[in-house]
Structure 1
Amino acid sequence: MRRPLIAGNWKMNLTRDEAVNLARGVGAAAGDGEVDVLVCPTFVHLEGVISAVEGSKVAVGGQDVYFESNGAFTGETSTAMLGDLGCQYVILGHSERRNVIGESDKLINQKLHAALAAGLKPILCVGELLEQREANETMAVVKSQLDGSLENVTAEQMANVVIAYEPVWAIGTGKTASPEQAQEVHADLRSLLATRYNQEVSDGVRILYGGSVKPANAADLMACPDIDGALVGGAALKADSFAEIIAAAGA
């Protein structure tokens, strides 16, 4: 059985005090249930958030990382820096990094290898734009992103990789892929993993859904057989709504 994972991507939001207070609320909501809970604050709040969730079941991750270990890379953060603070996960290839910042599959692949080498668990994001879905290109886009981002990643390493499917047209728009739409892509992703690796890898990798997940739709999404949790944006910025999504995953 794949253990559900509910991850909160706080993006570029919250002051330090707000982040610490939210982290405490999430820590209280996480409990000792059957759901893994993760929060990913902005880099400057990592240390405060890690302190705030100490003693709880909440893990903390970075929203991105660079692939070089150190050097003249102004503004970047290394895997060693994340690990030194106590991060366990890192989000890679988020649609905002791909489509706003312009990151390529090659760069994401370099970051993914660096994260794995450092003992971090990458959450690899894939997903299509609205025009790509309307042109029936969803799986071609997702397969290309998956193949490029996972180049030279072994079957053994996949035990520490999480995939997140996030249709770009559903992120921050209020639109959500229906459970049927999300399940279809998740099932296809599993088939791609089985072809690329083997059935054991396909059955073992957790695949999250991301895109306007909220308490109102979480239960229906979590009920789908190939959806193993959620990468939550706006609804993760309030402890009560995030707690409801955690509860839906554990139901």
Structure 2
Amino acid sequence: SGDYLEFLTNEIRTALSKVTKQNLEKIIIAYEPVWAIGKSERDAMSPNLIHEMTIFIKKTLSDLYGQEEISKVPILYGGSVGPTNVRDIMTRGEVSGLLVGRQSLDADAFKEILGIVNSN
């Protein structure tokens, strides 16, 4: 909704308020919707929604720093990432990488996630 996007814009603006264009390449943005924290893979955002949020974050960065600067900032997605959805998130979500939470504590699941990411 519009309220959430306004909230997210304010979060980005506040977090980056002291970051100059020259330091932008040192920044990594990890997006994890609060409602996806600690949930199962089936509760993750759809890759299409992740892609929309990636576009929104890039637009916000472009408004702050200019279009040519946004390619310097990788955008990661975290939120119920696991072996069953990682391929779709990476290919259709248009993210630069992942922030794996609970599944990183399970060595077998994490190894499977890494294998899937490396095969793409």
CA distance in 1, matches of 2:73, 2:114: 19
Query: Does structure 1 retain, via aligned residues, the 8 Å contact 2:76–2:97?
Result: yes
- The answer for unaligned runs of 5 or more in structure 1 is 1-134
Q: Given the alignment of the two structures, is residue 154 of structure 1 paired with residue 20 of structure 2, yes or no? A: yes
Seen in structure 2, the aligned counterparts of structure 1 residues 225 and 237 have a Cα distance that, compared at 3 Å, is closer
CA distance in 2, matches of 1:157, 1:204: 10
CA distance in 2, matches of 1:237, 1:173: 14
Query: Does structure 2 retain, via aligned residues, the 8 Å contact 1:207–1:229?
Result: yes
Query: Does structure 1 retain, via aligned residues, the 8 Å contact 2:50–2:93?
Result: no
**Structure 1 residue runs of 4+, over 6 Å off?**
none
CA distance in 2, matches of 1:243, 1:224: 21
Give the structure 2 partner of residue 168 of structure 1. Answer: 34
- The answer for unaligned runs of 5 or more in structure 2 is none
Seen in structure 2, the aligned counterparts of structure 1 residues 247 and 155 have a Cα distance that, compared at 3 Å, is farther
Give the structure 2 partner of residue 203 of structure 1. Answer: 71
Give the structure 1 partner of residue 86 of structure 2. Answer: 218
Query: Does structure 2 retain, via aligned residues, the 8 Å contact 1:172–1:211?
Result: yes
Pick 1 or 2: higher relative contact order, CA cutoff 8 A, min separation 6.
2
Give the structure 1 partner of residue 52 of structure 2. Answer: 184
Letter aligned with residue 248 of structure 1: I
Deviations 1:140-199 (CA, angstroms, capped at 9, x unpaired) = 111110001111211121101100110011111221111011110011101111111022
CA distance in 1, matches of 2:89, 2:57: 16
Q: Given the alignment of the two structures, is residue 137 of structure 1 paired with residue 12 of structure 2, yes or no? A: no
Seen in structure 2, the aligned counterparts of structure 1 residues 200 and 225 have a Cα distance that, compared at 3 Å, is farther
Give the secondary-structure state (helix, strand or coil) at the position aligned to 1:208: strand
Give the secondary-structure state (helix, strand or coil) at the position aligned to 2:69: helix
Letter aligned with residue 220 of structure 1: D
Letter aligned with residue 247 of structure 1: G
1:107-122 equivalences in 2 (<5 Å): none
Rg larger in structure: 1
TM score, norm. by length of structure 1: 0.44
Paired positions, count: 117
Deviation of 1:247 (Å): 2.5
Which of 85, 88, 97 is the aligned partner of 1:229? 97
Seen in structure 2, the aligned counterparts of structure 1 residues 209 and 225 have a Cα distance that, compared at 3 Å, is closer
Seen in structure 2, the aligned counterparts of structure 1 residues 179 and 153 have a Cα distance that, compared at 3 Å, is same
CA distance in 2, matches of 1:244, 1:154: 38
CA distance in 1, matches of 2:116, 2:58: 23
Mean CA deviation greater in 176-185 or 218-227 = 218-227
RMSD: 1.4
Give the secondary-structure state (helix, strand or coil) at the position aligned to 2:110: helix
CA distance in 2, matches of 1:154, 1:246: 33
Query: Does structure 1 retain, via aligned residues, the 8 Å contact 2:47–2:93?
Result: no
Deviation of 1:138 (Å): 2.4
Give the structure 2 partner of residue 8 of structure 1. Answer: none
Between the aligned residues of both structures, percent identity stands at 36
